[in-house]
Structure 1
Amino acid sequence: MPFFILTRYRIEYVLLDRVKALFLYPKTELDQIATIKKHILRIQSIEKLPVVLILDTMTRQRRQYFLDAHIPFVVENKQIYLPFLGVSLQERFDTENVLTMKLQPSAQVLFFYYIYKNENRLYMNDAIKALGFSAMTITRAMRQLVQTGIFFSKKDGVQKVLYATTERRELYHKMKPFLISPVRRKIYVRKENSNPKMVSAGNTALSVMSMLNPPRLNCYAIESNAGRDLQGTKRLLDDENQVCVELWKYDPQILTENDSVDPLSLALSYSDDKDERVEEAVEEVLNGLWRKLDDSRV
């Protein structure tokens, strides 16, 4: 074997379902696709065997280049592409800088709806009807969830299905780096200037769902576009005649089943709050949710 090949790869002979092949384990950073292809062709000219590249990670972009170049590869527990055996891909891959990604509001709503639905898989047609999003918006939201590497998608006939292999509590904690606070900003409006689309939020909702004492100043949430006509101030001027209104990045009424925001969105609205009493109350709300979901699956 040429020296430049041996310096780049560790080579093993393997037997795959009675088919002899060579596994290449890169010793250094991968070369460009054209160069890798030349290396594989050179090895095949010597050994007359299929050659498979063995990798630790695989990004979506690199996968497509490998497919276009017809380069067989294996990523342990994630993907396998062995065309000489008729074996194709699993839809799992590593995303570049995935932890820096934050969910779009629609993707977060879809994620929370998946948790509340409490089923092993979620049909996108059902999500469209329940959430009121367009098919295009739901498709984009599903793709972003799959991009995290925590969710997966497949087709059941003509329907798209979203699913995960993790139970709800652990799923929430795995997804936490991607989640956003639903609150865009807060304003303070006079009590008589209420809007029927407002629902209880903040400490008002938290005091209902936990042992936290009710606040002196009531708080409500409304989708930012729906609340753009509210006449309010940036600072609290009169706690007897004003209420706090959170302008949200998505409609808080989508996921709620009563007159308060949903528990997961409520928890995320406190992302930057370091008050220990609030943190304990939020944890109490989440633990109650997990118990409720566990009991409903018994």
Structure 2
Amino acid sequence: MNALDILGLKVNYKKWNKEKQLPLFILNDFVVQKAIINDIECLSLTPKGDLPTLPAFKKQISIIKEIENVPIFLQLDAISSFRRQNLLENKIPFILKDKIVYLPFMATYLTNAQYEDKNVEKISLATQLLFTWVLYQNANKYYVSDAVKSLGFSNMTLTRSYRQLSTTQLFEEHKDGRKIFLTTNLSKVDLFNKMRPYLQSPFYTQGYILKKEITKDMIPAGEFAFSQYTYINPPNLKTYAIEKKHSKNIKLQRECYSYDEQVELQIWKYNPLLFSQNRKNIDDISLILSLLGNEDERLDIEIENLLKKIFKETF
């Protein structure tokens, strides 16, 4: 009996109908299939040769998830003990010839399926911007009308946003005459951490451009910017961010082939400097939000440390 049978898991494979959307360098590295594991839709990646480096593989996963955001696992015939340990330490799911099955996402599905909260969804971008605004206020009462000047929302958008914040049950809604304000009994750090399941990435997509194509509208971002505030070492590849409306003439490359000639570019849904005090650097909260999708323990530790540093005066 193989490991899948012991765990009570049944896997069915079929052709993935979005394969043509993948860049060529991923198709050269992997056979991508749709996999159904106990009614859970996933994607299976079978290497055509040697596995790419871990940073490159993580980038490939992020590109695939932009096309279809489902769990992804490696289907392996053989692997060295070093590489197997590397996958385990980085929480990368894999199945090794049905002998070793490491699918941490299935544990979550199997354990929590009966308790799943159908109401937990990503908040809208406008709501997330209102939440970010709240985090920067040194107050106990958050009058939503005061956010209009900073965010430029219409009354309808503002109403929808504060009501969506209220549905998380982390805020309470009050009235002061005709003015509406929100309160919370949580510290800012706890509030941020409890809101994490609802938060979305501030950027639409990412790719690569040549260094000579960097413009004044591009702001240092990602781990490149984060390393300036923390003990994280600067990455080999620099990252920049630009607002979507300024990216019309930019042609992103999907493959990174040179740390010396290229930089990573994130296309943001809003102005990366919206909450910036000096109008030169991305604010700390937006920067943290842009890193939340990274499954990296060292980043999580530094994010938590930075949150405590940001809010030390306010709780």
Residue equivalent to 2:40: none
Distance 1:168 1:98, change over 3 A: farther
Residue equivalent to 2:121: 101
Residue equivalent to 1:263: 284
Distance 1:230 1:102, change over 3 A: same
Question: Is the CA contact 1:99–1:177 (under 8 Å) kept in the aligned structure 2?
Answer: no
The amino acid across from 1:172 in the alignment is F
Q: Could you give the per-residue CA deviations for residues 184-216 of structure 1, whole angstroms, max 9, x where no partner exists?
A: 211211223234333221111111110112223
Q: For the residues of structure 1 that align with 2:155 and 2:246, how far apart are their CA atoms? A: 22
The amino acid across from 1:268 in the alignment is L
Which has the larger Rg? 1
Question: Which is worse superposed, 264-273 or 207-216?
Answer: 264-273
Residue equivalent to 2:264: 244
**Two-structure CA RMSD over aligned residues (Å):** 2.2
Flag structure 2 segments of 5+ consecutive residues without an equivalent: 1-115
Q: Mapping of 1:170-181 within 5 angstroms?
A: 170-181=190-201
Q: Could you give the per-residue CA deviations for residues 227-283 of structure 1, whole angstroms, max 9, x where no partner exists?
A: 232232122233222211111233221122243322222223222322333233222
Q: For the residues of structure 2 that align with 1:196 and 1:152, how far apart are their CA atoms? A: 41
Residue equivalent to 1:203: 223
The amino acid across from 2:306 in the alignment is V
Q: For the residues of structure 2 that align with 1:162 and 1:98, how far apart are their CA atoms? A: 24
Q: Which secondary structure does the structure 1 equivalent of 2:240 belong to? A: strand
Residue equivalent to 1:277: 298
Question: Is the CA contact 1:181–1:265 (under 8 Å) kept in the aligned structure 2?
Answer: no
Question: Which is worse superposed, 190-199 or 246-255?
Answer: 190-199
Residue equivalent to 1:75: none
The amino acid across from 1:152 in the alignment is E
Q: Which secondary structure does the structure 1 equivalent of 2:227 belong to? A: helix
Q: Could you give the per-residue CA deviations for residues 46-94 of structure 1, whole angstroms, max 9, x where no partner exists?
A: xxxxxxxxxxxxxxxxxxxxxxxxxxxxxxxxxxxxxxxxxxxxxxxxx
Which one of the candidate residues 209, 213, 227 is aligned to 2:233?
213
Q: Which secondary structure does the structure 1 equivalent of 2:164 belong to? A: helix
CA deviation after TM superposition for structure 1 residue 167, in Å: 2.0
Distance 1:133 1:273, change over 3 A: same
Q: For the residues of structure 2 that align with 1:121 and 1:195, how far apart are their CA atoms? A: 40
Residue equivalent to 1:287: 308
Q: For the residues of structure 1 that align with 2:157 and 2:217, how far apart are their CA atoms? A: 22
Question: Is the CA contact 1:99–1:178 (under 8 Å) kept in the aligned structure 2?
Answer: no
Q: Which secondary structure does the structure 1 equivalent of 2:181 belong to? A: strand
Question: Is the CA contact 1:153–1:160 (under 8 Å) kept in the aligned structure 2?
Answer: yes
Q: For the residues of structure 2 that align with 1:136 and 1:191, how far apart are their CA atoms? A: 42
Q: Mapping of 1:23-102 within 5 angstroms?
A: 97=117, 99-102=119-122
Q: Which secondary structure does the structure 2 equivalent of 1:293 belong to? A: coil
Q: Mapping of 1:223-238 within 5 angstroms?
A: 223-238=243-258
Residue equivalent to 1:24: none
Question: Is the CA contact 1:182–1:268 (under 8 Å) kept in the aligned structure 2?
Answer: yes
In the superposition, the TM-score normalised over structure 2's length comes to 0.57
CA deviation after TM superposition for structure 1 residue 145, in Å: 0.4
Q: For the residues of structure 1 that align with 2:234 and 2:285, how far apart are their CA atoms? A: 20
Whether 2:191 is the aligned partner of 1:185: answer: no
After the TM superposition, list the runs of 4 or more consecutive aligned residues in structure 1 that deviate by more than 3 angstroms: 96-99
Residue equivalent to 1:71: none
Residue equivalent to 2:69: none
Question: Is the CA contact 1:190–1:232 (under 8 Å) kept in the aligned structure 2?
Answer: no
In the superposition, the TM-score normalised over structure 1's length comes to 0.60
The amino acid across from 2:214 in the alignment is S
The amino acid across from 1:267 in the alignment is I
Distance 1:279 1:169, change over 3 A: closer
Question: Which is worse superposed, 137-146 or 243-252?
Answer: 243-252
The amino acid across from 2:257 in the alignment is L
Q: Which secondary structure does the structure 2 equivalent of 1:222 belong to? A: strand
Aligned-pair identity in percent equals 34
